[in-house]
Structure 1
Amino acid sequence: MQRIALFIATNLAILLVVSFVYNVISRATGYQLGQTGGLLLFCALFGFGGAFVSLWISRWMAIRATGAKVIEQPANQAEQWLLKTVQRQAQKADIPVPQVAIYPSPEANAFATGRSKKESLVAVSSGLMTAMSEDEVEAVLAHEISHIANGDMVTLTLIQGVVNTFVMFLARLIASAINNAARGNNQQGGGLGIFAYYGIVMVLEVVFGIFASIIVMWFSRQREFRADAGAATLVGPDKMISALQRLKRAQESKLEGSMMAFGINGKHSGLSKLFMSHPPLDDRIQALTRRPL
């Protein structure tokens, strides 16, 4: 959950920054936004650029946003077990051993992030270590290792780059159409002012960005099913099902009445599900139960 939320939040911030830079460059160079092919190419450059910058700094951002402590020398038996478990699973998944970290949080949670399989991070919350058994923590770690092995962060970046491109492109296309319509009705032929034009662009980018996140979240939910299946292969389906059931019991009493967009449990309306990065826990458990042995 945090892996996707951090990535999306960082990407949206960068998208708005690069959009502002794009506006300044296009204004300073006199670039004609009416040139559709050139506009699409320029939007792709900035759209993918923002997504890849988000990916590049994702590990750094995750550590600082959560206050995670990277384990270099284990300070206790729990940290030693954590390192050995990740090392064993990484070897079984045939990937380089990622950095391992623990971050302070009472909630049972974990995430994996990083710009590549060689530059990845697996972090678990302190709450996860105390709320779950070793078998359940092992399953959660296997789930995150599967995200890395599947290259989910890179693939998510490509998807985000595509939606960023079209968010920027459509926002400017519609703003240009509004500008042309205003110019046609204006006897002076002035159209929109520069601040009004770019104000419309920014508003449209935020609106389209929200709708684009639905696409990204749908993709994220499919990758969660795949990571669950990967964890079942690494440690067995029973451990993964037990971990999900434990998460379900832990979350049922905490999110009542204050469901967040990226909530992890299954209590949500059909509309809010569109903005969730994870499928309902019941659906994930059923998928593992139906999974052929």
Structure 2
Amino acid sequence: MKRIFLFLATNLAVMLVMSVVLSLLGVNRYLTANGLNFSMLMVFSLVVGFTGAFFSLLISKPMAKWSTGARVIDAPTTSTELWLVSVVKNLAERAGIGMPDVAVYDGAPNAFATGAFKNSALVAVSTGLLESMTREEVEAVLGHEVAHIANGDMVTMALIQGVVNTFVVFLARVVGYVIDKAIFKNSDDDRPGIGYMVTVFVCEIIFGFAASIIVCWFSRQREFRADAGSAKLMGNGQPMINALSRLGGLVPGELPKSMAASGISDKAGVAALFSTHPPMEERIAALRALN
């Protein structure tokens, strides 16, 4: 339950901070001064909803390096590093994208791709993954990550997060306004009443949980597409099937909560609705259906 809370808190944090800052600047008071101004409220919601999502996207690459301790391979010094760079280069060429940075970090089996732009992304693998899998399986995992980049999944997820954040902010204030006027009977002055502020805060948390379910559903769908993308880049799906089978028997390395959706796999959540990755057996079945 702690993992779910932290994951959701990451998605809500920037949005809540922006909301508080704009409220302190008097934007909320302006919106409710003479009745709720829906046009201005939508603009306000768009600013709050998309600012956090796109800011997170723009800093995703340096934050991933910092939070995982990933070391970019600028000049390969070992045969393994030389092989990794060569494999990613070949996969990137097949996928029609620019060469991503290739990095290695210490940790249990996992891998991730991140970055705001297709032609300047980052692909990283853990030492645990390299030690636990065959080279063909590692290549399939790298194909999966390159497919994420080629599919534009990082931008897509930022857009989805921005849209759901916008609706969370918008609906929370509509509900807050209605409750403040109807139940707390606040109509004596132009300022939002305590009922409005409390209701907005509570609704942002509740609606944020619901929004996270939507975001996680989209995240699971993109995993199926990236698995299929790896199969296409590799020429057949068997290497990715083998890689997923191997990963299914390993404890995945835990990534920072803000990056949980970026890994090749994730720990099973308490609730399937909040899982960023489908079960391994479903991913394997989907790949076998392609053969």
Alignment TM class, shorter chain as reference: 0.7 to 0.9
Q: 1:118 to 1:268 in 2, by over 3 A?
A: closer
- Corresponding residue of 2:25: 25
C-alpha separation in 2, matches of 1:67 and 1:265: 19
- Corresponding residue of 1:34: 36
CA RMSD after TM alignment:
2.9
Task: Give the 5 Å matches for 1:189-268.
Answer: 189=188, 197-235=196-234, 236-251=236-251, 264=265
- Corresponding residue of 2:175: 174
C-alpha separation in 1, matches of 2:47 and 2:89: 38
2:86 is the counterpart of 1:49? no
Aligned partner of residue 34 in structure 1, secondary structure: coil
In the TM superposition, what is the alpha-carbon distance from 1:67 to its structure 2 partner?
1.3
* Contact 1:224 1:278 survives alignment (8 Å): yes
In the TM superposition, what is the alpha-carbon distance from 1:56 to its structure 2 partner?
0.6
Task: Give the 5 Å matches for 1:50-89.
Answer: 50-89=52-91
C-alpha separation in 1, matches of 2:194 and 2:120: 42
- Corresponding residue of 1:135: 136
Q: 1:208 to 1:127 in 2, by over 3 A?
A: same
C-alpha separation in 2, matches of 1:130 and 1:117: 28
Letter of the structure 1 residue corresponding to residue 74 of structure 2: E
C-alpha separation in 1, matches of 2:52 and 2:28: 21
- Corresponding residue of 2:257: none
Letter of the structure 2 residue corresponding to residue 69 of structure 1: R
The sequence identity of aligned pairs, in percent, is: 48
Structure 2 unaligned regions, length at least 5? 255-259
Aligned partner of residue 287 in structure 1, secondary structure: helix
Q: TM-score, normalised by structure 1?
A: 0.85
* Contact 2:29 2:191 survives alignment (8 Å): no
Q: TM-score, normalised by structure 2?
A: 0.86
In the TM superposition, what is the alpha-carbon distance from 1:36 to its structure 2 partner?
1.5
Aligned partner of residue 89 in structure 2, secondary structure: helix
C-alpha separation in 2, matches of 1:70 and 1:213: 31
In the TM superposition, what is the alpha-carbon distance from 1:93 to its structure 2 partner?
0.6
Aligned length: 277
C-alpha separation in 1, matches of 2:130 and 2:233: 20
* Contact 1:101 1:121 survives alignment (8 Å): yes
Task: Give the 5 Å matches for 1:82-161.
Answer: 82-105=84-107, 107-161=108-162
Higher relative contact order (CA 8 A, sep 6+): 2
C-alpha separation in 1, matches of 2:191 and 2:20: 18
